[in-house]
Amino acid sequence: MEQIELSAQSRAEFGKGPARRLRSTGRVPAVLYGTGIDGSEVMSLDNKELSKVLHTEAGKNVLINLDIDGSGTPRLVMFKEIVRHPLKETIQHVDMYVISVDHTIVIEVPIHLTGKAEGVVLGGLMQQELRQVKVECLPTNIPDAIDCDITALEIGQNLHIGDLVFPEGVSAHDDPAGTIVSIVAPAAETEEKTAEEVEEELTKSFGEEAGAKTEEEPKE
């Protein structure tokens, strides 16, 4: 997998106030965790550079050579969490962690469905339960997505995690029985009744109830 260069600047201040001031200058607060770090390191990233990094094919699973303060000895890191503004969708904060190319990691990758299920062609409905799957692999083997052809699925059939075919060096870390896609029969259609039909049914119903009560009354 391609590795992207990204520069960072150390910061001495942290908290809501300093974070707001950073964002106003076009920078994003960030924290780095992982091997070789005592607790964590706080820093900031250029918002435009960060956006470019996130728009590669790998998305949030991109491998980053992070150079802090122009040290010339970048660290290989990945994103742990990306916090966005709930309305504007702008990046508010980033957590990253140091990784090693020699150790496997567990990470979520998208599931990419291909084809059109036979059951859908025949009128069934497709319900997708999972859109991502956890895999275990070396950082350099992270797939952009797991492709799966659903053409053969018929009504009443399911696709499970155990049915997926993973690239060499990649294995599932989720329950193999987990359902990804179900093809279900369409719900029975009910005809809408007109106001006249509803009124007629109500009149008939009340008439029958009245008749039943009359018959039960004792004779004098």
- Residue 122 structural domain: 105-184
Do 110 and 150 lie in a common domain?
A: yes
Q: Is the pLDDT of residue 165 over 90?
A: yes
Assess if residue 207 is contained within a domain: no
What's the confidence (pLDDT) of residue 152? 96
pLDDT digits (tens, 9 = 90+) for 34-90: 877 878 899 999 999 999 999 888 888 999 999 999 988 899 999 999 999 998 889
| pLDDT attached to residue 218 | 36
**What pLDDT is stored for residue 16 in this prediction?**
85
Q: Give the total number of structural domains in the chain.
A: 2
Do 144 and 83 reside in the same domain of the chain? no
Q: Quote the tokens at residue 57.
A: 């094919």
Q: Let me know: does 112 contact 150? Beta carbons within 8 Å.
A: no
Whether the per-residue pLDDT at 212 is higher than 50: the answer is no
Here the CATH number for the domain that contains residue 156 is 2.170.120.20
Is position 203 within any domain? no
Does 124 map to a domain? yes
**Tens digits of per-residue pLDDT, 118-151?**
999 999 999 999 999 999 999 999 999 999 999 9
State the average pLDDT over residues 12-41: 88
Count of beta carbons in the 10 Å neighbourhood of residue 103: 9
Q: Per the domain annotation, does 213 fall within a domain?
A: no
Q: Is residue 204, in this structure, part of any structural domain at all? A: no
Asked whether residue 202 is assigned to any structural domain, the reply reads no
pLDDT at 168 exceeding the cut of 50: yes
- What single letter denotes the amino acid at residue 206? F
Residues 11 and 86 in one domain: yes
